[in-house]
Structure 1
Amino acid sequence: MLHTLTACMTGTAVKTIHSAPASLAAAKAQVTRMERRIREYTAWQKQNNLFFDEQTDEMLQKAVAKLKIKKENVQEAERRLQRKAEKHQREMRK
Structure 2
Amino acid sequence: MSKSVLVINTPKYCALCVLRSGVSHPFCRVNNRDITDLSIRPEWCPLKPLPDKMKLTGVYGREYFQSNGKMPSYKIGWNQCIDEITGGE
TM-score if structure 1 supplies the norm length? 0.29
Higher Rg: 2
Give the number of the structure with larger relative contact order, counting CA–CA contacts within 8 Å between residues 6 or more apart: 1
Query: Which structure dedicates a bigger proportion of its chain to strand?
Result: 2
TM-score if structure 2 supplies the norm length? 0.30
